[in-house]
A and B are shown apart, each in its own frame.
Chain A
Amino acid sequence: MFEAVAFYLFAFLTIAMFYIVVTTKQALYALTALAAGMIFISAFFFILGAEFLGAIQIIVYTGAVMALYAFGMMFFDTTRDVKEAQGNKFIITGLATLAAVLVVLIVSAPIISENITAYYPALPEVGNTQEVGMVLFTKYLVPFEVAAVMLLVAMIAGIVLAGKKMDLSITLMNDAEIHDMKIDQKLDQHKKVLS
């Protein structure tokens, strides 16, 4: 019973939040709603007994991601209304609704899942985090490592793209300009060293 109440409550809340995210004209509202929605989702994780995931969700999303976005928003000065020239709203919402209806049509049918074998069974007597750790560092060791590489890539990408060096485009400069630029850089370095 509790589960049902919680489910419906959070379901309503997430849907509402995410609805705001995709509809509001205020970027700030959207950001806030997104963060809220993320937290509500972590609630589902807790309901479903995936505490580790819930924690990660809160930390990564509401912590890191939202912080990043917030940064970005400040950068872009999105306090003002978002101007969005809309095309045909009906098509968009129509399509999405259609998609939803179609999937729901199928998904609402019960999955015949009696004979599903749990390949990596969750053990009732072990804490979720521990379980997750076990699986993550055995079976999913390689993906985990690759994920690390991915994050490294993302980091480098972020640094490179947002870095100052991108301000001047060598691609668009001719050789003389590049030469001048190099000298400027050298001077800068000298200045740094001197100061």
Chain B
Amino acid sequence: MEIYLYLALFSPLVGSLFAALFTTKSKTLVAGVVPSLLLFTSFVSSSILLVHILNGGAPVHVEMMTWMATGDLYIPFGFVVDQVSVTMMMVVTIVSTVVHVYSIGYMDHDKSFNRFFAWLSAFVFSMLILVMSDNYAGLFIGWEGVGLCSWGLIGFWFHKESASWAANEAFIMNRIADLGMLIGIFLVYWNTGSLQYDHVFEAFKGLDVDTLALIGIFLFIGAMGKSAQFPLHTWLADAMEGPTPVSALIHAATMVTAGVYLVVRSNELYSLIPEIGLFIASLGAFVAIFAASMALVNRDMKRIIAYSTLSQLGYMFAAAGLGAYWVALFHLMAHAFFKALLFLGAGNVMHAMHDELDPFKMGGLGKTMKATMVMMTLASVALAGLFPLAGFFSKDAILEAAFVEHHYVIYSVLLFTAGLTAFYSFRLVALIFHGEERYTLFGIHPHEAYKFMLVAMSPLLLLAIIAGSLKMTYFEMVTAILPDIEYHIHSHVTFWIMTIGTQLFVVIAILYAYKKYTTIGMNVPDGTSETENTFMYKLLKNQYYIPYAYDEYIVKPYTKLSALFWTEIDQKVVDATVDGIAGVIYDSGEQTRDMQDGNLSTMLRWMVIGTIALLILAVMFGLTARYAHVLG
């Protein structure tokens, strides 16, 4: 089995390096095909491992080589394929294979085609390291690696100021969180003496709660960055500057879920500190509604999907925080499929619309882009959580978990968010595919994407539809290592009321959205209507003014302070002191050199003055000595 592990892990790396060879060359198809094939290999290997695990095989655990060893610290490159990581591996390899193939078409006309695949495969490799490592340090390698690749891919079109800015923002925001993560790792090391999961989890049992809480908090700070939880969420929306396949892979399906993975992976820790878990859940619920609210009014197709991702991440954290780790993981998986699909569909639309992102400038695209419309609609249905698509099962499980654990506030927030989700999802679908053909105003002639792109998307579609039915198989598998709590609402009546109620609520929201945004002559928001001038609308439109606040109260002061430090402190205080000391010495020379005025009389006088000065001292001392007995 180890060979499959290595195959799964390193195939993307080979693909990335292969593509990297061509980066300075002009577009070569082979640079896209080979990585895709290698990823497929990786996918196959992962599948074999999955089968192995599903058949009750022992987790595959390898230690490739030593990485760092000093003092008591010992960090190997160790990889483990167990129930959790194999799930992640499957998600990663499936989505990335699809995205790779899709990208061959999507990036067809880009001159940096080769570079794109180098980065993309490198990302997959990093992500696999992240999920497969058997220790926190290895996880951190992947953690930073995906950050790097995300930087490279967000800023892929680096000639755009906004893209490079967004890339840096993402990287730096992640770094802030990574510091927390790093501190968490330090805490783990100094309290357990190791970073290996099995060893660490064993040792956690003997630690006091305060330490554990500290560890839990700091690790979660890391997770917050990667998974763009409030208040470190702003980068995710800006990250949409990257090519759409990137958004699909990284900013929807895989990287952003790394935080969830971390919490799930550390479930033994968080199980011991339920208070922290509750906080995580609350934050997750908050982010869910918070992000969803911003998606309601946004006019950028990709951003809307990004907010939806954010919102769904909130769901996952809510689940994980409540101890429903398997549910979180399950939602993660399901979400990866339908959200990737949604993004890829959006990519198709963008292609058709010449990179236009404003859904208000589209409409009626369903006529020319049937396949895309179907896929996106289904994906939205799944997102909205309608039976029987994947979203229904996973989201419902989360709601149930919240309900069963008696966290009704969380439950109701999440429930309400489900409605919002349905609304904005179908707002989007409606605006893009239905209603008036507003794009004609802009002289665009949309066309459907390449066939093979659509074919490439189909596995995701399939999974988005059927993933829910795999729930029980999955449950049996992961609960081998995750807490196997089943969330059953004991009263059947309540269960049915809740389920049907939820479904109804969602359907109503969908219908409302559909109606509101397909009516002919619907007013396009242009800043004049009354709703647009309400406080709430503005608040939502400006993302609660958080980016503005960050810019105003963090970025600008930092820049100003930096300049101040440089010009005022470094140059005018620190350096000036040094130069000042030198200057004082030099100037005192300049000032006193007149003592040597070249006149012999002056020289003689100096001699006499010197002598007299000595004499005065002598007399003082002499008198003191002589009358010492008198004086005292």
Contacts and interface: CB of A to CB of B under 8 A. Distances in A.
Is there any pair of Cβ atoms, one from A and one from B, under 8 angstroms apart in the complex?
yes
Interface of A: 87, 91-92, 95-96, 98-99, 102-103, 105-106, 109
B609 A95 contact: yes
Interface string B281-318: 00000000000000000000000000000000000000
Contacts of A109: 626
A103 B619 CA distance: 8
Contacts of B601: 87
A106 B618 CA distance: 10
A103 B608 CA distance: 13
A105 B626 CA distance: 12
B458 interface: no
Contacts of B519: none
Query: Chain A interface mostly helix, strand, loop or mixed?
Result: helix
Contacts of A99: 608, 611-612, 615
Interface string B606-631: 00110110011011001000100000
Interface of B: 601, 605, 608-609, 611-612, 615-616, 618-619, 622, 626
Given A102-B618, A106-B622, 20 more contacts: A87-B601, A91-B605, A92-B605, A95-B605, A95-B608, A95-B609, A95-B612, A96-B608, A98-B612, A98-B616, A99-B608, A99-B611, A99-B612, A99-B615, A102-B615, A102-B616, A102-B619, A105-B619, A106-B618, A109-B626
Nearest to A86: B601
Contacts of A105: 619
A102 B616 CA distance: 7
25 contacts: A87-B601, A91-B605, A92-B605, A95-B605, A95-B608, A95-B609, A95-B612, A96-B608, A98-B612, A98-B616, A99-B608, A99-B611, A99-B612, A99-B615, A102-B612, A102-B615, A102-B616, A102-B618, A102-B619, A103-B615, A105-B619, A106-B618, A106-B619, A106-B622, A109-B626
A-B pairs with the 9 shortest C-beta distances? Answer: A102-B615, A102-B619, A99-B612, A95-B608, A98-B612, A95-B612, A106-B622, A105-B619, A106-B619
A103 B618 CA distance: 10
Contacts of A92: 605
B503 to A, nearest CB: 109
A98 B615 CA distance: 9
A109 B627 CA distance: 13
A98 B610 CA distance: 13
Contacts of A91: 605
Nearest to B609: A95
Contacts of A95: 605, 608-609, 612
A22 to B, nearest CB: 13
Nearest to B601: A87
Could you say which of B611, B615, B622 has the most chain A C-beta atoms within 10 Å of its C-beta?
B615
A60 B351 CA distance: 121
Nearest to A96: B608
Contacts of A87: 601
Contacts of B616: 98, 102
A92 B606 CA distance: 11
Nearest to B611: A99
B458 to A, nearest CB: 103
A60 to B, nearest CB: 25
A96 B612 CA distance: 9
B534 to A, nearest CB: 89
Nearest to B615: A102
Contacts of A102: 612, 615-616, 618-619
